[in-house]
Amino acid sequence: MNIFLGGRNIGKSYMAQMWNQMLDQQDPKYTELSKATVDGAMWYTVKCSKEVCTWIRQEYADHEQWYEHIDQNWNIYFSTFDMHEEFYMMLKLKWGV
């Protein structure tokens, strides 16, 4: 970002403040949508950012603890996962709270 006309706080400071606020308000890496007990174990439905989705698919290709989320109409959501509580804890440790 370049500001060519500066002086007397008529825009440069305001634009810098807006830019910093925008960087602070970035979307979270993942969001917990719901949780349920399945066969005695807790499973979470989690919506993830593109970066987290890539990490899950590349690092944990043998998905015994996560599945692509499928709704009641059999639609697959490629950014939403159903995951076991152990895998959810690994996600939280890797990408923060």
- What are the domain boundaries of the chain? 30-95
- Percentage of the residues of the chain whose pLDDT score is greater than 90: 41
Calpha distance 79→29 (Å, rounded): 11
Calpha distance 83→92 (Å, rounded): 12
pLDDT in tens, 45-68: 999 988 999 999 988 887 789 998
Mean pLDDT over each residue of the chain, to the nearest integer: 83
Quote the pTM value. Answer: 0.69
Instruction: Pull the structure tokens for residue 7.
Output: 């002086």
On the question of pLDDT at 82 being above 70, the answer is yes
Instruction: Pull the structure tokens for residue 43.
Output: 């499973």
On the question of pLDDT at 24 being above 70, the answer is no
Residue type, 71: D
With beta carbons less than 8 A apart as the criterion, state whether 90 and 81 touch: no
Q: What is the pLDDT, as a whole number, of residue 33?
A: 93
On the question of pLDDT at 42 being above 90, the answer is yes
